[in-house]
Amino acid sequence: MLALLAVLVASLAGAPDRTLHFVFENRNESLDVALLDRSGAVASDALAELSHFVRCVRTDRERPIHPRLAEIVARTAAAFGRRRIEVVSGYRAAPYGAPHSKHFVGRAMDLKLSGVPARKVAAWVWRNFRGVGVGLYPTQGFVHIDVRDTDVKWLDLARHGHETTGSVRYTSRDRDDVLPATAPRLEYDDRAGAVARSWASNEKVGIRGSD
């Protein structure tokens, strides 16, 4: 019984705070939302609220934020014991951004965690997740996080309101690099893996979906 209780306590201690307080710097707006449901997955209604909240500042257009990105943001805040997330930029409607920007497709967010240096946030995300882009902007004090197929991180010393300096340093790595044992598991990745395994199993026994 004591062993079971210990496991439960440990599980709760590692679970992210379900209610997050988002503040959008460029809109002077805030949003309190329970982004993750009790299973740890991103709740669809909460994702819709967040997607509207981080809509394009210039055009007021919006696009669904990728659920994997939302989960990474929630788990990053939990790792540092923070509920307050300051959004610098969310969805951007083209052409307001760099060519091929992940912001254009709802796969990127620039943010700050209250009281946590941007360098620490960037390093933690890079260490604990794969399939990410992580940009550190120390002069402006924020971190860019996106979800993608190839892992890339970069450092940009551009000042507020200025374009990229041109001396950005990029680093890539193999997405198959082993995660640390303490890395949080993403519910999105677990579910995607389960679907992929199911399809692979169906292919082996000759079951195919319709074209």
Q: Residue 45 has what pLDDT?
A: 97
pLDDT in tens, 195-204: 655 544 444 5
Distance of alpha carbon 11 from alpha carbon 18, whole angstroms: 14
Nearest to 137, CA basis, from 109, 115, 105: 109
Q: Say whether pLDDT at 23 is over 60.
A: yes
Identify whether the C-beta of residue 96 lies closer than 8 Å to the C-beta of residue 79. no
54-113 pLDDT, tens digit per residue, is 999 999 999 999 999 999 999 999 999 999 999 999 999 999 888 899 999 999 999 999
Residue type, 17: D
List, for residues 149-194, the tens digit of each pLDDT value. Answer: 999 999 999 886 555 656 788 999 988 889 999 999 999 999 987 7
Tens of pLDDT, residue by residue over 127-157, are 999 999 999 999 999 999 999 999 999 999 9
